[in-house]
Structure formats: structure tokens, C-alpha cells
A and B are shown apart, each in its own frame.
Chain A
Amino acid sequence: MSHVIEMLGIRKEFPGIVANDNINLQVEEGEIHAILGENGAGKSTLMSILFGLYQADKGVIKVRGKEVSIKSPNDAFDLGIGMVHQHFQLVHNFTVAENIILGKEGGFVYDIKSASKKIKEISKHYGLEIEPDMVIEDITVGMQQRVEILKMLYRDADILIFDEPTAVLTPQEIDELMVIMKNLASEGKSIILITHKLDEIKRVAKRCTVIRRGKFIGVVDVATTSVNEMAAMMVGRPVSFKVEKAPKTPGEAVLEVENLNVLNNKGVLGVKDFSLSVRRGEIVGIAGVDGNGQTELVEAITGLRKIQSGSIKFLGEDISTLSIKDRNEKGLGHIPEDRQKRGLILSMPIASNMVIKDFDKAPFSKNGILNKDAIRDYSQEIVDKFDVRSGEGIDSLAGMLSGGNQQKAIIGREVTEDPDLLIAVQPTRGLDVGAIEFIHQAIVAQRDKGKAVLLVSFELDEIFNLSDRIAVINSGRLIDIVKTEETDVHDVGLMMAGIKAENKEENK
């Protein structure tokens, strides 16, 4: 079969890092070709080269067998290459049709009527269900993405690049996108799908090119390759999706929350009469749909939010009126929900970020004077131990790190403090398989050391994988706490919707 795209021996260097190192990519006509790699592997860079946003330092690009030089996105368009970026490029107060004809060669020729007609035709043809005169800000994210797709099709692109298209979509929207991509491929369009989600590849892709840390690892046939094999290629070692966890008898209670009531930002009770305990050597997972009081509960325990009534006991002592600092010092670690807002100071180097809770204590300072050497040594230790990768090591600004490495830095900081209670909120959101595995192991290691862990996650997989007990929260109330081995996803799902498995209760 003929190759519509061939990228051979592509190299691209950025200051301090080789983003693409001798990468090959061959895409066949009419196939959905996935590019798999961890965050920072160099996927976007490779596609930006194909789309003319960057120039390769070395290598050859062939389109339909002919060697080409793509100097700008316009060159790419001329070759029939279109790209849906991770961040959409739409004008919010313009209509769909206006956005689509905007910037098309020839400038803003305002022939909206014939444009609308063509848009309608394309939309119908591929099942995109887009009305040309809807305004962008009034439509959902999923629809905006389809507008981006329309934009490519309107310009007669037949090689379509999707850069992590599902990152911003709900599960239903993902399903719809998968159908659209299959439609496009069956119409003869060639599709390059960039992702680090293996199940998506399994669902739509024919072949998959794997890259790791800028290097070409291989091409596999998706149907005959298992998810585990692909994950291993991506990460460079076998990956287990199931975390190994030996049974353990929990010890004394570390955290005891009793009849807790907490207001949310709207001034009404976000947490209602909530009671829960977490003991040494166990992970208690809080399952629930986003926005059911998880944030308020965690903020109340960590001291970021005042409580209305009830008590929060830590190792037997009521901490509900203590300052955040006092709670931290008593042994409470917190991996916050929003790593970029709460977890790190992005404009400061990693070294400073690693001591943000302890900079005022020995050995990091003495009599109010910082000890930079001690801070550097300590940060270096965390960075080494938790494999935090960055261009300039501990001197890199936290904001320059990829999401996975930011999260590893935060977890490293919190775990190195060895807190009696670790609260982990959405610890793996947006991360790839390798980082998820690493982080899960770090969390289980805390439990195995006899520490208590409170896990909050919206991913049921994660809750089931890690938790010894599962507490289900709905509308700020505790629906029930169950042992993980005595329940299943179905029951927990019902409880998340507020329905308690009554008959089981009666059977007891």
C-alpha cells in the first residue's frame, strides 16, 4: 500500500533537550495511524514539524511519495494536511461559518451563503451535526472540536492530524469522536491520532507508532498487539495496570471525622453530617461524581476551609481549629487537586518548591537565613528518587515541567515528609500510564509503611485499584463505606448516584 506521509530520520532539538531523535513515521492511505508516547515524548513536536510550525533539524518528509519542504501551515494546507490542535483556534463570538472561512486563502471573502451551504454538506456527509450559524461560545467543547474538523475538511484536507483530541471531552463525546474518525477513514481520509490513551488506540487505530523520550521505538499492528505490550513499548518496561497490594490489617485511627458540616462557595452546606475514619495501613478511597463535596471535605481537613460544626481528629486530637501550618507539622500531607494552582509555584525553581512547607525549619534555614546548599541537596534527593525529569534539574522552573513530572515532584515532596496521613486528591489526573503506575506505587508504599491514606478520585478504576475501603459521597453526604473486596463497580456507581444498596443492608 502506498504511503501518504513518510517522515524519515526526523530530528529536532530544543535548548537542553532532543525532542525528536531520528524518528520515522509512515502513514498509509485511508488508515487511522496512532502515535503513542508519554507526555513529553515528542509527539506534538513531530506533528508540528509535519504541519510546518517547526522546521526539522534533519530528516526527510515525503507526501504521497514526493519529497516536500513544509515551511508554514499554509504549505501544509496546500499539501492537504490539516491539524486539530490541543487548544482550539476559534474566535469565540463568531459563528461556525465565519470561523471556518476566516483565514482561508483569499482572506475574508464574505460569501457566507455558499460557505454555509458547503459546510452543511460536509457536516451531513460525515455526521458532524454542525449548524453553520451557531456562535462558538454557545456550543459545547465537543462541538467546537467538530468545527475544527470541519475547518480542515472545508479546506479539502485529506490528511488529518488530531493532537490529543479526547483530553477535553466527556466519555460520550469521546464515543462520538471515535465514530466520526472511523467515518472519515472509510471515506479515504488518512488520520494521525496522537494520544497516550491505549484504549482509544485499540478502538480506532490500525497501526501505531510508538515513541519514547524523543526516540522511535517501533510500529505495531494494533489488532494483534496487546495493550500491555504497547504500554511496555511506550514506557520502556513492563507496566502493570493492577497495583500489587498485600493484605494488611489496619491499625489505630489516624483521621476521625465526625458529623462534619462544611459550607461550600455558594454559602450552603457542601459537606453534610459526614463521618469517616482512616486508620494506619489503609487507603480509604472517596468515590463520587465531581462536585459532590469532595473539595470541601478535603479543604476542611487540611485547614483551607473553615468548618461549620463537627470535629476532625488527628491521632485523637481535635485539629479543626488549628492553622494549616500546625496541621502540616502534626503530620498531614496533601497532594492537592489542582497541581498548578495549589501544588507548585510555577515561577520558582523546583528546589524552592521542594521546601515550600519547611523552608523556615532546620536544616533549610537557621535564624531566618536560608541554607541554599541544604535546600539543593534535599531537592536533588527528591528529584532523583521520584524521577522528576526536566531540562535543568532542580534549577528548572516548576512551570517548565510536564504535568507528570510536576505531579511526581509534588508527590515526592509530600511523601518524603513521611506524613501519618496522606490526602491524595485526583493524583493522576491527565497523566500517562507510566506516571500513573509510578504514583500509584508511591501511594501504596505509604500504606504499606503503616501510614493512613485518604484518596479522592473521580476515576472508579483508580478507586478500586488502590483502596482498601471505599466511601461513597453524594451531595455532601456519606452514602456508605464498604470494603473494596465486598463491592463492585455497579454498586458503587449506584451509590454515587445516591442510591444505597438497601437489600444488602437487610441481609446482614
Chain B
Amino acid sequence: MTKESTKVIKEPLKVKKVPSFLVSITAVILGVIAGSILILIIGKNPIVGFERLLFGAFSNKRRIGNTLSMSTQLILMGLSFSFAYKTGLFNIGGSGQMLMGGIVSTILGHYLPSSMPKPVYIMIVVIGAVLIGGLWGLIAGFLKAKFNVHEVVSSIMLNWIAYWLVYDFIPRFVKDQAIAVKSKPLDFSRTLGLEWLRKATGMSTLNLGFLFAIIACVVIWFILEKTTLGYNLKAVGANKYCAEYAGIKIQRSIMISMAIAGALAGLAGLTYYCGYSNLMEMGKMPNEGFDGIAVALLGNCSPIGVFFAAIFFGALKMGKGSLAATGIPTELADTIIATIIYFTATSVIIASFWNKIYKKRYEKKKAKLEGEEKK
């Protein structure tokens, strides 16, 4: 408090700490380099390969639309994982929550009267998907809070329960007479698709879901940064012993966090099965549950980071179809994704690399300043 202390703790030039997005971008670049090497090894031209990937993802309105539409689920699933993660929970149950959101929306889509105005209809399916997904997350949260069952264990079991429920519900409620293993396709008017948007994007699958995903990003960001709920959940995630000491109800926080994470995944089920697609297949566990983890990692679990990471992964997924023409196996795109995940998982190393560079720069600047001082 004395003058002296403020003098010692002065602010000289600061060594910058590496921002997390730079770490993510570095991981992406390293992943691309690794992919290029792979392409070289199989004797093809990596530049052509990546050109095809970009072509497949962005070369026209329809492709851009499809890329964004593919990214929609990834955004929501990435958000879902990130949100639970901030509370210290590992929501590996995204797939099940997504399936439940999908099946409830699909059934509602078939059974709600077609005379119902579209805004009302959409409101109902959104609520349905969010509620069922939230319930699926809440069950895992409840088991953790009350019986200390680890959320990973219960989530995996809930994934399979959802899987078999869907397996049973498709033939029971929404059977397609023509193809026995799929649900009846929903009429376009009963999906999240919008006629004008479809036309504007050259008949792509882009739908209202993308808007929902953006809204979800904003809402989750707001919750985490601006609300007491976000503070509460982050405190539990960062140090549950201190949170408990401070009077925060940990069990309640765990349940809320899992329910919100589940709700986001449920919404992803709606956008996937009744937006991107218009039917559900029996016996298929959606990959998005796991892709969401990758998105969250690459996006550093922040809503904005998740948004861009999801679009990036979405582009890889959409673009890889065009790789085949060059003779490069489409699995390559998956390999790149895997490599990037690997590099993000080792982000500590990348961060320390950047921090060293910053430090060198800082030392140079300081030396220069001191030199000037002497003059």
C-alpha cells in the first residue's frame, strides 16, 4: 500500500502469453502439414488434395450451405461438451442425448397435425428436443450427484439405452414401409428447412438449425460470462472443495450443468435428423457425439472457439467427398482431423513454444529500450 510497493510492482514491457486461438491455429497448421506429408507418401500432390477439399466445401452456394448445415450439429455438440467440461464434467453422452432429441422431433414431426402453423410447430419440436436431451443429461447428472456414479459410465450406458429406444421407436411409430431400417422421411415443411433459404443456397441442406446454433453460442457465452449460474458452474468445475466451502450446492450444479449440456445435444438431434437429414436410421450411433469433443478441444471450450472449430471440421467433412476424384482416399480427411485433435490435446507444448518466442521478442525489445536509455 505504501508508495514503495507500487514502485516495485511497476509495469514494464510485458511478456505476452499465447492466446488460446493461436494454439488452436497452430494445431490446425500442424495437422495440415502432417496430412500433406501423408499425401506425398502415397505419391499425390498435397496442394491438389487441399484444393479439392476446399473446392468440395466452399466452391459454390450449395456447397457452402451444406458445409454450414453439416457444421450446425458440430457447433451444438461442441457447445454441449464444452459446457459440461467447464463444470468439470466429461459429457461423453452427447450421442445418446442427440438420438433422443432426434427421435422425439421425428415422432412429433409425423404426429403433430400438418395444419399447425410452422412457427408454432417449430417451437414445439425445439422444446421437445431440448427437454428430452436435457432429461437424458440430467439422468447422468443425477446419478453422479446422488450416487456418485461417474458421468462417463452412466453416459455410455445412456447412449446405448437411447440407441435401443430409437431402434424400437422407429418401427413402432415412424416406420417407412419401403425401407424397413429407416424412419419415414419427413415432409420438407416439417423439417427445419426454409423454402427461401434452400433456394438461395442452390438447394443445400442449410436450415434454421444454423440460426439456432448461433443463438446457442451467444446464450452459452452469456451464461458462462455474465450470469451467476455460469459463475457457480465454473467455480464447481475449477475447485469443488472451495465451491462447497463457499456454500455452493455442488450436486445441484452438476445436475444443472449436465441438463444444459444434454439440452444442447438434444437440439443437435433436431437439427441433424430434421434439418440436415429428414429421417433416422435404425442401429446407428451418431458420430457427432465424439466429434463434438474434438470441436470443443480445438475451440478451447469457448463458444466462439467452438463455432469456428465446428465450421472447420464441417468443411473437412463436406470437402472430403471431392478428394476421391484425385485418387486420394477420403479417409485422409479423417486422418487430418485426428492429427489436429492430437495436436490440440498436446496444446501445452504448442503454448510453451509460442511463449518462448514471445519471450525472446520481449527481451530484444527491452535490450533496445535500455540501449536508448543509456544514450
Contact = CB atoms under 8 A, between A and B. Distances in A.
Interface of A: 13, 15-18, 21, 213-215, 236, 302, 304, 323-329, 334, 336, 341-348, 352, 356-357, 359-360, 365, 368-370, 384, 387, 389, 391
B228 A368 contact: yes
Interface residues of B, number: 30
A360 B239 contact: no
A438 to B, nearest CB: 11
Contact of B247 (A18, A328, A389, A391): A328
A352 B238 CA distance: 12
A359 B231 contact: yes
Contacts, number: 93
Q: Is the interface of B mostly helix, strand, loop or mixed?
A: helix
Contacts of A16: 9, 11-12, 14
15 contacts: A17-B9, A21-B8, A213-B5, A213-B8, A323-B247, A327-B247, A328-B246, A329-B247, A343-B242, A344-B242, A347-B238, A356-B235, A359-B231, A359-B232, A369-B228
A232 to B, nearest CB: 15
Given A215-B8, A356-B246, 11 more contacts: A13-B12, A15-B12, A324-B245, A324-B247, A342-B241, A342-B244, A343-B242, A343-B245, A345-B239, A357-B247, A368-B227
Contact of A369 (B4, B9, B227): B227
B146 interface: no
B228 A365 contact: yes
A191 B336 CA distance: 57
Nearest to A413: B246
- 9 closest A-B pairs (Cβ-Cβ)? A325-B247, A356-B246, A324-B247, A345-B239, A342-B245, A15-B15, A360-B228, A345-B238, A357-B246
Contacts of A21: 8
Given A213-B8, A389-B9, A360 B241 contact: no
Interface in B86-115: none
Contacts of A387: 1
Given A13-B12, A21-B8, A370 B231 contact: yes
A304 B245 contact: yes
Centre residue among B1, B226, B245 by max chain A CB count within 10 A: B245
Centre residue among A325, A336, A370 by max chain B CB count within 10 A: A370
A303 to B, nearest CB: 8
Contacts of B1: 384, 387
B239 to A, nearest CB: 4
A288 B127 CA distance: 59
Nearest to A334: B245
B281 to A, nearest CB: 41
A359 B235 CA distance: 11
Contacts of B11: 16
A213 B2 CA distance: 12
Nearest to A344: B242
A15 B231 CA distance: 29
Interface in B4-57: 4-5, 8-12, 14-15
A439 to B, nearest CB: 16
A213 B4 contact: yes
A236 B3 CA distance: 13
B249 interface: yes
B229 interface: yes
A46 to B, nearest CB: 15
A307 B242 CA distance: 21
Given A328-B247, A357-B247, A369-B227, A391 B9 contact: yes
Contacts of A236: 4
A336 B245 contact: yes
Contacts of B9: 16-17, 389, 391
Given A13-B12, A360-B232, A324 B244 contact: yes
Contacts of B238: 345-348
A370 B9 CA distance: 30
B276 to A, nearest CB: 34
A345 B231 contact: no
Centre residue among B229, B231, B243, B244 by max chain A CB count within 10 A: B231
A324 B9 CA distance: 38
Interface in B240-271: 241-249
Contacts of A368: 227-229
Interface in B220-234: 226-229, 231-232, 234
A324 B12 CA distance: 44
Nearest to A336: B245
Contacts of A323: 247, 249
B226 A369 contact: yes
Contacts of A18: 8, 10
Contacts of A325: 247-249
A57 to B, nearest CB: 9
Nearest to B239: A345
B146 to A, nearest CB: 16
Contact of A359 (B12, B228, B241, B244): B228
A252 B232 CA distance: 36
A332 B238 CA distance: 24
B348 to A, nearest CB: 15
A302 B229 CA distance: 24
Contacts of A328: 246-247
A214 B228 CA distance: 40
Centre residue among A326, A334, A352, A368 by max chain B CB count within 10 A: A368
Centre residue among B5, B9, B14 by max chain A CB count within 10 A: B9
Centre residue among B10, B11, B246, B362 by max chain A CB count within 10 A: B246
Contacts of A360: 228, 232
B242 A341 contact: yes
Nearest to B235: A345
Nearest to A329: B247
Contacts of B15: 15
Centre residue among B14, B242, B243 by max chain A CB count within 10 A: B242
B363 to A, nearest CB: 9
Contact of A341 (B5, B228, B232, B241): B241
Centre residue among A16, A215, A236, A328 by max chain B CB count within 10 A: A16
Contacts of B243: 345, 356
B84 to A, nearest CB: 17
Contacts of A359: 228, 231-232
Nearest to A346: B239
A324 B239 CA distance: 16
Nearest to B12: A13
A324 B249 CA distance: 9
A360 B15 CA distance: 35
Interface string B335-354: 00000000000000000000
A264 B356 CA distance: 48
Interface in B309-367: 362
B76 to A, nearest CB: 23
A359 B245 CA distance: 14
A370 B249 contact: no
Interface string B271-297: 000000000000000000000000000
A359 B5 CA distance: 30
A406 B4 CA distance: 21
Contact of B242 (A17, A214, A342): A342
A347 B242 CA distance: 12
Contacts of A344: 239, 242
A254 B145 CA distance: 34
Contacts of A345: 235, 238-239, 242-243
A328 B5 CA distance: 34
Contacts of B248: 325, 356
Nearest to A388: B1
A216 to B, nearest CB: 13
A400 B169 CA distance: 54
Contacts of A342: 241-242, 244-245
A57 B21 CA distance: 32
B185 to A, nearest CB: 42
B87 to A, nearest CB: 13
